[in-house]
Structure 1
């Protein structure tokens, strides 16, 4: 009877899998053309001292099907604001809160916004005791890398899922 239950479980699993495939089910992100056609070519415009974010964005955007290019027909992913913050709470233990806030938008070749500006925030915290061995610098360096990586992944996911709100264009009128 134990063998019959195993065979039934295998048949049921295969039947359900075939049913999902038959109704065109696929896991998110398995499509190599996951990025909307509009954003398949992007150039990056970054503020100074954001090389780590730029390199991670390059990797994640390329993995989602975006071609990074400085061509005239490429849209521009502009980082408007890059704000790392460090809060330290003193007590018997010292707790450090690291936060990174990044605001970005996609623009056309002339600098007109295509999407609304969006702000993403990532944060991590850690504690250490000053009386013990101090590994504060190592932890902080590692967590800063983790935060930048998290922000780069969030930006890439939102671009590839086309979850960015479109910009509201103001009509241009000439005053006379």
Structure 2
């Protein structure tokens, strides 16, 4: 008689497991067998535009939404320490370009663009990786007749845009997918 309850629990467990896999669920994180981080100690070198975020009226958006804050959060999660270690690499943001494009009509559409070009440099400031550009785009619509909907919606969308770009940067850095710069070889002379 206890074979039926056992069989039912096995079928239920397999069914729930299959439904989790079917919906795309997977565990994420670092395991002891995962690839070691190539840049265990890091510093950030960001332009002033990346240290604060403003909306269309030049109002500051809360500090937790800056690229600097989000990069530190995500890279720390991958095991990278931010400190002043002698061998610390520098994540240098070469270009930070945020644009807001508004298409007007009865229903306005706002398209936000964020392009960030970065590279990793060694402790002496020499590039270790080739520059890489991450592009992020988010858009939203609102009815022009409503008041303050644009600003409220925009703050949230800007935060999501910066978050997406920071996640992409962190994944590429932590998985060592950035193209390395090969050291220059002296030119060989042939007679």
TM over 0.5: yes
Match of 2:48 in 1: 48
Segments ≥4 residues shifted beyond 4 Å = 1-5, 10-13, 32-35
Per-residue CA distance 1:38-82 (angstroms, 9 max, x = gap): 311111111113221111111111111001122221111110110
Structure 2 segments unaligned to the other structure (5+ residues): 16-25, 52-65
Q: For 1:78-97, what aligned pairs fall within 5 Å after superposition?
A: 78-97=92-111
CA separation in 2, counterparts of 1:97 and 1:122? 10
Match of 2:182 in 1: 168
Shift of 1:111: 1.8
TM-score by length of 2: 0.74
CA separation in 2, counterparts of 1:132 and 1:138? 12
Residues 37, 79 of structure 2: 8 Å contact kept: no
Structure 1 segments unaligned to the other structure (5+ residues): 14-25
SS of 1:29's partner is coil
CA separation in 2, counterparts of 1:170 and 1:61? 30
Residues 128, 134 of structure 1: 8 Å contact kept: no
SS of 1:60's partner is helix
| Structure 2 CA distance for partners of 1:11 and 1:155, relative to 1, 3 Å | closer
Give the count of matched residue pairs.
163
Q: CA RMSD in A?
A: 2.8
CA separation in 2, counterparts of 1:50 and 1:148? 10
SS of 2:151's partner is helix
| Structure 2 CA distance for partners of 1:155 and 1:149, relative to 1, 3 Å | same
